[in-house]
Structure 1
């Protein structure tokens, strides 16, 4: 269930998608492919909700001492039932692709696929469906950032080799 990121990189790394469910950088599948205008509306709603939560918390702290809550029940339910992607650019920054990187070869359970470095930079890695790691054709599926392969993602990625 691990993925190697090797090749024309400064630091080859190993990715473990099974722990990403606890990572704050994950994005829900629906959010990953919504348009910018929809996200702006959602951001405004989120700001409004955060403001209301802040007001409630300030009021509650006046009445009660603070309690260390790591994950709310609602957030726990979202994690256990959600479908999530991880933007790969977080890991590419750590691996430090060399300037002369010309392409990417994806080794999958069904053979090799070639993509561009830009496609990889903007890719989203689907790692959890309904809160569970992808077992069949896993450990991840690659979706391009523009959503052009939403109907036919690259499945069963085992190794990413930068050329």
Structure 2
């Protein structure tokens, strides 16, 4: 339970976050490269359609046999998961919590203090949850990175909960 983080306060739905399962989430980002490239909003339905279409085309032309390159890609992705540094955007969790109209602040509760941020800027936060393929146990369970990467070398650590005020 010490790794579970709650979003509570002036919201319609209390959200429970479990960073241990985010490694399997398609929304995760590679923190080693995330702040180096411009942020591009993705259309998930369009991406899914393109991926399924290319899979279907490959199956039509090559048959159902998995070519060796696909096996190599899977191995590469597995190694990347085992050695990577990952985060996930806070935005979808805040949207799912459905803050009240009068809510204007996000309070980040850590082991030592409470940090207050403007709710609109907190939508850009990235929650770091993995380093070298391992959960952040010593100073975690998550680290908070600002969307612009300005605290990339010194993220907010030891986050325990979020309170929307």
Structure-2-length-normalised TM-score:
0.79
The 2-side partners of 1:139 and 1:80 are apart by 18
Residue 139 of structure 1 aligns with which residue?
Answer: 141
Residue 65 of structure 1 aligns with which residue?
Answer: 64
Residue 7 of structure 1 aligns with which residue?
Answer: 9
Unmatched 5+ residue regions in structure 1? Answer: 41-49
Structure 1 residue 63: Cα displacement: 4.7
Residue-pair matches, total: 147
Contact 1:109–1:137 (Cα < 8 Å) also in 2: no
Contact 1:26–1:85 (Cα < 8 Å) also in 2: yes
Q: Secondary structure at the match of 2:32?
A: helix
Residue 78 of structure 1 aligns with which residue?
Answer: 80
Unmatched 5+ residue regions in structure 2? Answer: 41-49
Contact 2:125–2:145 (Cα < 8 Å) also in 1: yes
Q: Does 1:157 align with 2:159?
A: yes
Contact 2:104–2:120 (Cα < 8 Å) also in 1: no
The 1-side partners of 2:151 and 2:10 are apart by 25
Residue 45 of structure 2 aligns with which residue?
Answer: none
The alignment yields a C-alpha RMSD, in angstroms, of: 2.6
Residue 44 of structure 1 aligns with which residue?
Answer: none
Q: 2:114 aligns with which of 112, 115, 118?
A: 112
The Cα offsets for residues 10-31 of structure 1, whole Å up to 9 and x where unpaired, read as 1011000010001110000033
Contact 1:32–1:85 (Cα < 8 Å) also in 2: no
Residues 66 and 93 of structure 1: CA distance in aligned 2, closer, same or farther (over 3 Å): farther
